[in-house]
């Protein structure tokens, strides 16, 4: 999409991000989640991005920290959540651009994988696969298919990365 600028969020964007996330989800819950992540130790500033079109914020995405717990160890991993595009700008490639840039940054940082909970029909195109196929368990809400828990394997991935994804306490208040 021409003219689309993807850049890290800045404090001056916070109010506009709140409006756009609430509009995309038609709920304040995800806007609250964004703010809770931002003030938590799991926030990763360089992977919290906005999409700007002609000076207007039209999209937002966050990758932040989580834990992969196996029987023998806990390893820090990252997850993508939430992803939001302003209603008037949906289905124009903004979400795709945000996912591609933010997962590219995760790869450059040496992250082995990114997990997400979301529609497989959407995330498959970026290379996300059902997490259980790779020995990674993500507990999804009762109404969601098991395939909603997905993983994108990056350059530093190795098959020893198995276990259950544990979200930080920040997410507890938002669990469905």
Q: Could you list the residues that contact ligand COA (CB under 6 A)? A: 24-25, 82-85, 90-96, 118-119, 121-122
Angle, CA 86 vertex, CA 81 and CA 92 arms, to 5°: 95
User: Closest Cα partner for 126 from 168, 66, 63?
Assistant: 63
Q: Between 125 and 156, whose beta carbon lies closer to ligand COA? A: 125
Q: Between 110 and 141, whose beta carbon lies closer to ligand COA? A: 141
Judged by DSSP in three states, 122 sits in: helix
Q: Between 70 and 132, whose beta carbon lies closer to ligand COA? A: 132
Chain residue at closest Cβ approach to ligand COA: 95
Q: Between 29 and 158, whose beta carbon lies closer to ligand COA? A: 29
For the bound state, the minimum distance from the C-beta of residue 22 to ligand COA, rounded and expressed in Å, comes to 10
For the bound state, the minimum distance from the C-beta of residue 121 to ligand COA, rounded and expressed in Å, comes to 4
For the bound state, the minimum distance from the C-beta of residue 14 to ligand COA, rounded and expressed in Å, comes to 18
Contacts of 167 (CB under 8 A, 6+ apart): 66, 79, 175
Q: Between 142 and 158, whose beta carbon lies closer to ligand COA? A: 142
Strands (E), 12-162: 48-53, 56-69, 74-85, 113-117, 129-130, 136-137, 149-153
Judged by DSSP in three states, 64 sits in: strand
Helix or strand run (H / E) with residue 6: strand 4-8
CA distance 76 to 109: 13
For the bound state, the minimum distance from the C-beta of residue 118 to ligand COA, rounded and expressed in Å, comes to 3
For the bound state, the minimum distance from the C-beta of residue 156 to ligand COA, rounded and expressed in Å, comes to 24
């Amino acid at each position: 999409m021409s003219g689309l600028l993807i850049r890290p969020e800045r404090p001056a964007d916070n109010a506009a991000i709140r409006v756009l996330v609430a509009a995309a989800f038609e709920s304040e819950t995800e806007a609250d989640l964004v703010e809770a992540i931002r003030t938590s130790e799991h926030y990763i500033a360089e992977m919290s991005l906005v999409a700007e079109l002609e000076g207007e914020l039209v999209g937002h995405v966050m990758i932040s920290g989580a834990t992969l717990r196996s029987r023998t160890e806990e390893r820090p991993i990252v997850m993508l959540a939430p992803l939001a595009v302003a209603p008037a700008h949906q289905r124009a490639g903004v979400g795709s651009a945000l996912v591609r840039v933010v997962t590219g940054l995760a790869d450059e940082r040496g992250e082995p994988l990114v997990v997400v909970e979301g529609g497989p029909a959407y995330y498959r195109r970026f290379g996300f696969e059902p997490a259980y196929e790779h020995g990674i368990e993500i507990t999804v809400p009762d109404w969601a298919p098991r395939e909603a828990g997905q993983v994108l394997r990056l350059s530093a991935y190795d098959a020893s990365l198995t276990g259950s994804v544990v979200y930080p306490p920040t997410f507890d208040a938002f669990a469905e």
